[in-house]
């Protein structure tokens, strides 16, 4: 478990200005401001898939159920996966991958998607 003391020792501090900015501190001085979203993007890149045991995905996540979603609303995801899993209506939507009843296997850089 991560304790408050461990968090306080990190060189990252939230900026108390009502934004989602984080300060990166070096040698007791602020060296850079970054957004919380940019930290999340480094840890969990857009387009990443993950195993989740719940029936409702967490906020910001989508089920890999092959449905059509908006290219505008999910522009960052569309920039990563494009129409690889379906063109949607070929104009305003694209498809999510379909991973129900599939096994994803990584074999030394080659990804296999196997239906079972």
Number of domains within the chain: 2
Is residue 35 a part of any domain in this protein? Answer: yes
Quote the pLDDT of residue 59.
87
Place of tokens 């990443």: 48
Place of tokens 């007791």: 28
Domain range for residue 69?
59-115
Is residue 50 a part of any domain in this protein? Answer: no
Give the count of alpha carbons within 13 A of 54, CB side only: 8
Question: 105 and 64, same structural domain?
Answer: yes
| Beta strand spans in 2-109 (E) | 12-14, 21-26, 29-35, 68-70, 93-95, 102-107
Is residue 89 a part of any domain in this protein? Answer: yes
Quote the pLDDT of residue 29.
59
Question: 103 and 70, same structural domain?
Answer: yes
Question: 103 and 63, same structural domain?
Answer: yes
Is residue 51 a part of any domain in this protein? Answer: no
Quote the pLDDT of residue 37.
73
Quote the pLDDT of residue 110.
75
Question: 63 and 37, same structural domain?
Answer: no
pLDDT less than 70: residues of the chain: 1-34, 36
Quote the pLDDT of residue 73.
97
Residue 13 main-chain phi, psi, to 5 deg: -135, 140
Is residue 54 a part of any domain in this protein? Answer: no
Strands 29-35 and 21-26: antiparallel
């Amino acid at each position: 478990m991560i304790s408050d003391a461990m968090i306080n020792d990190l060189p990252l501090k939230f900026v108390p200005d009502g934004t989602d900015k984080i300060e990166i501190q070096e040698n007791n001085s602020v060296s850079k401001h970054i957004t919380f979203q940019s930290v999340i993007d480094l840890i969990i890149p857009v387009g990443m898939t993950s195993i989740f045991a719940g029936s409702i995905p967490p906020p910001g996540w989508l089920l890999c159920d092959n449905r059509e979603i908006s290219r505008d609303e999910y522009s960052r995801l569309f920039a990563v996966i494009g129409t690889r899993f379906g063109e949607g209506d070929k104009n305003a939507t694209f498809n999510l991958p379909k991973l129900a009843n599939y096994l994803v296997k990584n074999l030394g850089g080659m990804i296999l998607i196997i239906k079972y």
